Amino acid sequence: MSVIVLSGGFIDYSSGWDHAHATFYGDMSGRDTMQGACGYGDLIRQGYGLETTALSSTLFNDGASCGACFEIKCIDSKWCKAGVESIQVTATNFCPPNYTKTVDIWCNPPQKHFDLSMPMFVRIAEYQAGIVPVVYQRVMCHRRGGIKFELKGKSSWFLVLVYNVGGVGQVVDVKVKGSRTNWLQMSRNWGQNWQTLENLQGQSLSFQVKTSDGGVAQSNDVVPSNWQIGQTYEGQYF
């Protein structure tokens, strides 16, 4: 059995821990983390706060990992802050690979890497470290309120941003049903933005959201028939 010693205890890798590295981006205000490749907007308003991270290509999985939650612990570095057990963050952005460089290529495949918001990085490590080795595991996401559906798109196509998802947090499938349609399969446009070309104007809307553990939350008639682009509605809990 592979076991690693941490300050204050042991981590048993049979429980799902793995190795990675962590850096940071932005500043202590978190301004540079507000927009990202998952499609989330104002992360503070949306409930994610500054407890966020960008993922390397290997972990990001073309946006399928958006919304997943991770527990991260700094290890094996003089820069790790003493007495800090771990942090928990939500995947909200992408750390793009850089194939023009031969050093500092932490986000290139097959590296497992977390580019944390600065406030989260300095919770576990000293600022001057720049990069530290970490261990991480997937954890459950704890959200206030139900799933949020932000309506986007144009008259010719319908797009919805799905966020504030609890449980495993990682949405893998979305269906929509208008008051005059059957259930319609939506496709991932980018991040956690899901689309259909069906005209749903003037219909009340229901959604089915499926997460990576197979859980399904169905929000019936969560959107009234007089909806407009730009509005946000709250559905069922996970």
One digit per residue, pLDDT tens: the chain, 238 residues?
Answer: 223 333 333 434 345 799 999 999 888 876 665 568 999 988 888 889 899 999 999 999 999 999 999 999 999 999 999 988 899 999 999 999 988 877 778 999 999 999 999 999 999 999 999 999 999 999 999 999 999 999 997 767 899 999 999 999 999 999 999 999 999 999 999 899 999 999 999 999 999 999 999 999 999 999 999 999 999 999 988 7
Domain 148-234 has CATH 2.60.40.760: yes
C-beta separation of 202 from 225 below 8 A: yes
Residues 6 or more apart whose Cβ sits within 8 Å of residue 46 = 40, 148, 163, 164
Q: What are phi and psi of 124, to 5 degrees?
A: -110, -15
- pLDDT of the residue at 35: 64
Strands (E), the chain: 3-6, 9-12, 18-25, 52-55, 69-74, 87-94, 113-117, 132-139, 148-154, 157-163, 171-178, 183-185, 187-190, 193-196, 205-211, 216-223, 232-234
- CATH superfamily of this structure's domain 3-139: RlpA-like domain (2.40.40.10)
Q: CA nearest 106: which of 132, 126, 86, 124? A: 132
Look up residue 59 and give its DSSP letter: H
- pLDDT of the residue at 111: 93
Burial of 110 (0-12, 13-18, 19+ CB in 10 A): exposed
Token pair belonging to 134: 């970490």
Alpha-carbon distance 233 to 20, whole Å? 37
Start-end ranges of CATH 2.60.40.760 in the chain? 148-234
Start-end ranges of CATH 2.40.40.10 in the chain? 3-139
Look up residue 60 and give its DSSP letter: H
Question: Model's pTM, two decimal places?
Answer: 0.88
- pLDDT of the residue at 102: 74
Residues 6 or more apart whose Cβ sits within 8 Å of residue 29 = none
- pLDDT of the residue at 32: 63
Q: How far apart are the first and last CA of the chain?
A: 34
Q: What are phi and psi of 43, to 5 degrees?
A: -65, -30
- pLDDT of the residue at 57: 94
Q: Look at residue 124 and give its three-state secondary structure.
A: helix
